[in-house]
Structure 1
């Protein structure tokens, strides 16, 4: 294994796979606007997440649930305009993918077309498998999010570490392998 980190002009899904195979560390931070994205990208961060946590941090909501697809596209567009190197991943907000795989695909396409994002992120495992397949089949890279899932705040009642019980831990492992 090489100790020198390879320099990439633009981080892509392919380069992330190469980095993982080479055992390189992959950095990821969240940004919601042009100014922060410019700073994060210039610092050499590999992946920038435009998170639905903009609902909390930028709009002052108690949870991530109120943010809309249009608002995510707005934030993602601002970030994309600032970035020269990092791969930009955008959260699909609550309600934009859970109802059915066709809705998930429509939401992912809107984010990609209207913001210029490089990938989308969804929370969940087996329950969103069909949506993930449909999005991937359309050529859109997908990042999964397991464990602490803020969009499930009312299901679990709190933002807390998940999978402490064996049954939940086994489901988390199954979802990750899926």
Structure 2
């Protein structure tokens, strides 16, 4: 989005960017250090993905990560991100019964 602003990015900013044809940026982050670096660089959105099961926890599949594990990672990213919108995956099967 146009320039780095100190204001927190909200969903309405993405709508405005789409309307104006302004590019947005997004990266995946699992920790406070990378989140603060990406945020300072002006990245618009940070994803805390369930791929943390593989990348952070060294597991063979994303299916085993729990909501509690995602919360810990999400908290670290949210604390460090002063501007970027933070989006967090829900682990597989945590949002439906079947």
Which TM-score tier does this pair reach, normalised by the shorter chain? over 0.9
- Residue in 1 that maps onto 2:94: 96
Cα shift readout 1:59-91 (whole Å, capped 9, x = no counterpart): 001111110000000000000010111000000
For 2:82 and 2:70, the matched residues in 1 are separated by 20
Give 1:7 shift.
4.8
Task: Give the superposed CA RMSD.
Answer: 1.5
Q: Say yes or no: does 1:36 pair with 2:31.
A: no
| Aligned residues of 2:4 and 2:42 also touching (Cα < 8 A) | no
- Residue in 1 that maps onto 2:81: 83
Among candidates 58, 61, 68, match of residue 60 of structure 1: 58
Among candidates 2, 6, 10, match of residue 5 of structure 1: 2
Give 1:98 shift.
2.8
Give 1:16 shift.
1.0
User: Unaligned stretches of 5+ in structure 1?
Assistant: 101-178
In structure 2, the CA distance between the partners of 1:99 and 1:76, relative to structure 1 (3 Å rule), is same
For 1:7 and 1:49, the matched residues in 2 are separated by 19
Structure 2 counterparts to residues 114-153 of structure 1, below 5 A: none
Structure with bigger helix share is: 1
Give 1:99 shift.
1.8
Structure of greater relative contact order (alpha carbons < 8 Å, 6+ residues apart): 2
Aligned length: 97
Cα shift readout 1:96-135 (whole Å, capped 9, x = no counterpart): 11327xxxxxxxxxxxxxxxxxxxxxxxxxxxxxxxxxxx
Cα shift readout 1:131-169 (whole Å, capped 9, x = no counterpart): xxxxxxxxxxxxxxxxxxxxxxxxxxxxxxxxxxxxxxx
